[in-house]
Amino acid sequence: MMGGRRGAPRSEAARIAILEATASRFAEHGYEHLTIEGIAAQAGVGKQTIYRWWKTKTALVAECLLEGMLLPGSFIPPDTGDLGRDLTGWVEGVLRFIDDPDSAELMHSLLAAAATDEQIGRMLRDALAGDSALSTRLESAAATGDLAPGTPLRELGDALVGGLVLRVICRTPTDMGSAARFVGALLGPQPHRSGKP
């Protein structure tokens, strides 16, 4: 349990109802206007029940992220052996999500929450990037020679996620070639491996 207090064991049905109400109201009203009172009313529980299990609304939002209730699962980059193609497909998937008007507003609310709470920031990064999956994909590319020796993998991952976040903040429009240009600008010329098409 995230941000919880000691006390009576939680009812799983009540926990799910509270998290679903949090996710629903967050998507509808945003982080700034999300209230424990509103969540409690929609979930059919008392405020004291929520406060007994979560200290703040931030803890509730963080648990919703952890449970995959705010974003459609992790955006996991595939590993087909072609790093540029894999990352381009991954970026295209994220861009399709954030280009949807409803999703864009949700992302703005999540970024506002992340700006005030480090825990939400870490979880948002992980939800967007599938943090361990992205790291694994970049490590695989380094091991097979698809990235130049010495490429700073953590910083490359941060740049990929950061560029997507900047698009959300600036509401940058995308087109068919946006993902390929973005990935190409970050990766640069790729090393040639013998036997690779």
Residue 91 lies in a domain: yes
DSSP 7-24: SSPPPHHHHHHHHHHHHH
User: Quick one: what percent of the chain has pLDDT higher than 70?
Assistant: 86
Over residues 174-190, the pLDDT tens digits come to: 888 999 999 999 998 76
Within this chain, do residues 55 and 109 fall inside the same structural domain, yes or no? no
CA distances, 50 to each of 31, 32, 69, 91 (Å): 17, 18, 17, 37
Residue 7 lies in a domain: no
Over residues 59-103, the pLDDT tens digits come to: 888 888 878 787 765 577 889 999 999 999 989 988 888 888 777
Residue 75 lies in a domain: no
Give buried/exposed letters for 179-188 (b at 16+ CB in 10 A, else e): bbebbeeebe
Within this chain, do residues 181 and 138 fall inside the same structural domain, yes or no? yes
Closest among 85, 84, 83, 75 to 137, alpha carbons compared: 83
Distance of CA 195 to the CA centre of its chain: 36
Question: What average pLDDT does this structure show over 159-166?
Answer: 89
Within this chain, do residues 98 and 172 fall inside the same structural domain, yes or no? yes
Q: Given CA atoms 25, 27, 29, 35 in this order, what sign does their dihedral have?
A: positive
> Which structure tokens are listed for 158?
């941060």
Residue 197 lies in a domain: no
Q: The domain containing residue 48 runs over which residues?
A: 12-66
Residue 59 lies in a domain: yes
The band of 39, judged by pLDDT with boundaries at 50, 70 and 90, is very high
